[in-house]
Amino acid sequence: MRVHAVMLGLSRALALLGGLVLSGLILMTCVSILGRHANAALNSSAVQGAAPELASWLLSLGIRPIFGDFELTELGMGFAVFCFLPLCQITVGHARVDIFTSYLSDRINRWLLVITDFLFMAALFLIAWRLSLGMSSRLRTGQTTYLLEWPVWWPYAACVGAAAVAALVGTYMFVVRILEALRNEDIIGEGGESEH
């Protein structure tokens, strides 16, 4: 299925981008924590008493926490979460409890998937729409972050893009589930790979 390959490729690319952002945030947080502790140690009375010149020289190099690290983490984490949603949806990676449904027939389970994928698609469209309204509001008011003074609409725009892709993939999955229910056969397996 060509459409499935495109949707899967798009989902994987977005998840890779989210992974890169998340990895960058992890690295930044580690560097910031090390800088915070090193700065505290260099400013301690013990180090200032034993080697004040060395401590002053190291502090002059800028050893300190990264300025605005909390804001950067907050902005990046929201985007990363939305980047992982499409891949989770297309690979059927969401958590589910099938204690009750395991006793139902395949036909009924397929129709239950239609319902759950419809609800998921609707939720993704709602999230994308509300994010776009939030972005428009932040753009109109010119709101910025407290420390870095970056426009708040920037991360909103990134999240809107990722949420729109998630809504597109959610729509694709809903259509696939309808076809599966109508034909009473699998098009996409349980792991999200297309059947050939």
The number of beta carbons lying within 10 Å of the beta carbon of residue 173 is: 24
Per-residue pLDDT at 192: 53
CA distance 110 to 126: 24
Helices (H), the chain: 2-42, 45-50, 52-60, 69-90, 106-141, 153-183
State mean pLDDT over 7-30. 97
Q: State yes or no: pLDDT of 152 exceeds 80.
A: yes
pLDDT in tens, 52-75: 998 999 899 999 999 999 999 999
What percent of the chain is predicted at pLDDT more than 70? 95
Confidence band (pLDDT; 50, 70, 90) for 93? confident
Per-residue pLDDT at 196: 38
Provide the mean pLDDT of the chain: 91
Q: Tell me which of 84-93, 102-111, 145-154 is least confident.
A: 102-111
State mean pLDDT over 168-185. 95
Q: Give the contacts of 1 (CB within 8 A, at least 6 positions apart).
A: 187, 194
Per-residue pLDDT at 195: 46
Q: State yes or no: pLDDT of 191 exceeds 50.
A: yes
Q: State yes or no: pLDDT of 12 exceeds 80.
A: yes
Q: State yes or no: pLDDT of 18 exceeds 70.
A: yes
Per-residue pLDDT at 26: 97
The reported pTM is: 0.85
Torsion from C-alpha of 68, 71, 73, 75, nearest 10 degrees = -140
Per-residue pLDDT at 29: 96
CA distance 16 to 18: 5
- Both tokens of 131, joined, read 């994010």
Range ranked top by mean pLDDT from 59-63, 115-119, 189-193: 115-119
Per-residue pLDDT at 42: 93
